[in-house]
Amino acid sequence: MFEIRMAKFGLSMETGTITKWYKHPGDTVKKGDILVQIESEKITNDLQSPVNGFIKVILVNDGESKAVGEIIGYIAETEEELKQENKQETPPTPQDNNIEEKTTKAPIAQPGKRGFVSASPRAKSLARDHSIDLSTVQGTGPEGRIIEKDVLDCIAKHTQTARKEPLSPLRKEIAERLFKSYQSYVLVTNMTKVDMTELLEIKKKLIPDVSVTAILIKCLGGVLLKYPEFNVHFDGSTMEKFSSVNIGVAVDTGRGLIVPVIKRADMLSAAEVNEQLKRLAEYAKKNRLRGEDVEGSHFTITNLGMMRTDMFTPVLNGQEVGILGVGRSVKELVVKDDNSIAIRTMAYFSLSYDHRIIDGALASIFLGGLAEVIENESLLKEVLKI
């Protein structure tokens, strides 16, 4: 027995409407015969038979609709199959048509015992008010009649998917802290594309075990010394200046974002930064960070380079006045000054800063300074001490 299913004629097609059956129960069918014309939102198409046989039964009539993939009829492939008693008038569906059984699976349009959708006036008016399609409601009343309770259950189910769920304590704390913080400063983000090719070359050749983030932390460390206006805490009225550079590194623990701190990043070597970074990240994921591991950050880096993000507007961490967001590295065609073309690996750097005390020009200069180091082989080697 061959199942005639509603065909998917278009990528976005979800339902099809039978415009006209060309074959009827009992008719002989040859491979390639057009069985039925189907209309979807965008197009009308003919469905051809892939088998020889006889039309056994048609389940969906002219003018009726069915979801793509649903069975709309059967072709008996042999004479015996054709003569066979129709044990099942309705196609096997994921949901049992037994009215007594109450399942929580998704309801499917069933015509019920009577062949039309039987619903009490109350059920109909309730369905109308809530824009519920009665053909999607399972009836538990006499003879499969849809009664008020059934429609109410349907409504509840729909709202159940948007059930309220309380946050975990960690998430709650993150959310609250973030909200409070975000309201206390003026966030502006400057973005620029940075040529990462040199950095990646050096990493590959000389320090393959050191992560890009660690390298960037080292670069940041140097630049922050040069532009100490970014290496401060600001509470809205007083600035606290620091002499060393502690860099917070945003880490996704799987349970939420945490920012462990690489202390005195300016003093450490790239390898040491890398070591610390690895350890902190691991501890973070295992929820073994201590209080001092996440305190004392002066400036934060958040690297989304492994993900599908180019530019973004990270928010500041605590009382810091700057945060560097690093986007995806993408190979691009770049036009050089001499109009020659090269393939370079580029990434967006998004510098968010507190505009109350850092103005746009300074931010641009900072970004420029950072980019300069990263894009220059010798400057980079100098910062990395290699």
Partner 1 sequence: MREITFSEALGEAMLEEMQRDPTIFTYGEDIAKQGGIFGAYKPILGKFQDRILDTPISEEVIFGSALGASLAGMRPVAEFHFADFLFTGMTAVANQIMKFKYMTGGQGKIHLILRGPDGISKSAAAQHSESIETLFMHIPGIKIIVPSTPYDMKGLFKTALKSDDPVICFEHKMLYARKGPVPEEEYYIPFGKADIKKEGKDVTVVSTSRMVHESLKASEQLAKEGIDVEVVDLRTLVPWDKETVLESVKKTHHLVIAHETWRRAGWGAEIAATVQEEAFDYLDGPIMRVGAKNVHIPFSPPLQDFVVPDYKSVINEVRKVLNV
Distances (CA, A) of 368 to 29, 125, 349, 375, 380: 73, 66, 10, 10, 14
Q: How far is the CB of 111 from partner 1 (least distance, A)?
A: 20
Q: How far is the CB of 117 from partner 1 (least distance, A)?
A: 16
Segment interacting with partner 1, rule: CB under 8 A, options 43-51, 121-129, 167-175, 322-330: 121-129
3 state SS for the chain? CEEEECCCCCCCCCEEEEEEECCCCCCEECCCCEEEEEECCCCEEEEECCCCEEEEEECCCCCCEEECCCEEEEEECCHHHHHCCCCCCCCCCCCCCCCCCCCCCCCCCCCCCCCCCCECHHHHHHHHHCCCCHHHCCCCCHHHCECHHHHHHHHHHHHHCCCCCCCCHHHHHHHHHHHHHHCCCCEEEEEEEEECHHHHHHHHHCCCCCCHHHHHHHHHHHHHHHCHHHCEEECCCCEEECCCCCEEECEECCCCEECCEECCCCCCCHHHHHHHHHHHHHHHHCCCCCHHHHCCCCEEEEECCCCCCCCCCCCCCCCECEEEEEEEEEEEEEECCCCCEEEEEEEEEEEEEECCCCCHHHHHHHHHHHHHHHHCHHHHHHHHCC
Q: How far is the CB of 116 from partner 1 (least distance, A)?
A: 17
Given the complex with partner 1, which of 152 and 206 has the nearer CB atom?
A: 152
The verdict on 120 binding partner 1 (CB under 8 A) reads yes
Given the complex with partner 1, which of 126 and 262 has the nearer CB atom?
A: 126
Segment interacting with partner 1, rule: CB under 8 A, options 1-9, 114-122, 251-259, 357-365: 114-122
The verdict on 125 binding partner 1 (CB under 8 A) reads yes
Given the complex with partner 1, which of 125 and 168 has the nearer CB atom?
A: 125
- The correct pick among 47, 123, 261, 347 for binding partner 1 (CB under 8 A) is 123
Q: How far is the CB of 123 from partner 1 (least distance, A)?
A: 7
Given the complex with partner 1, which of 146 and 363 has the nearer CB atom?
A: 146
Given the complex with partner 1, which of 146 and 219 has the nearer CB atom?
A: 146
Interface map 129-168 toward partner 1 (x if CB under 8 A): ------------xx----xx--------------------
Segment interacting with partner 1, rule: CB under 8 A, options 58-66, 97-105, 118-126, 300-308: 118-126
The verdict on 29 binding partner 1 (CB under 8 A) reads no
Count residues near partner 1 (CB under 8 A): 10
Within 10 A of 211 (CB to CB), how many other CB atoms are there? 17
Q: How far is the CB of 131 from partner 1 (least distance, A)?
A: 16
- The correct pick among 20, 105, 114, 122 for binding partner 1 (CB under 8 A) is 122
Q: How far is the CB of 112 from partner 1 (least distance, A)?
A: 15
The verdict on 121 binding partner 1 (CB under 8 A) reads yes
Q: Which of 58, 62, 72 is nearest to 7 (CA)?
A: 72
Q: How far is the CB of 128 from partner 1 (least distance, A)?
A: 9
Segment interacting with partner 1, rule: CB under 8 A, options 16-24, 69-77, 120-128, 255-263: 120-128
Q: What own/partner pairs with CB < 8 Å and gap ≥ 24 does 152-159 have? A: 152/126, 154/107, 155/126, 155/130, 158/132
The verdict on 75 binding partner 1 (CB under 8 A) reads no
The verdict on 124 binding partner 1 (CB under 8 A) reads yes
Given the complex with partner 1, which of 121 and 208 has the nearer CB atom?
A: 121
What are the residues binding partner 1 (CB under 8 A)?
120-125, 141-142, 147-148
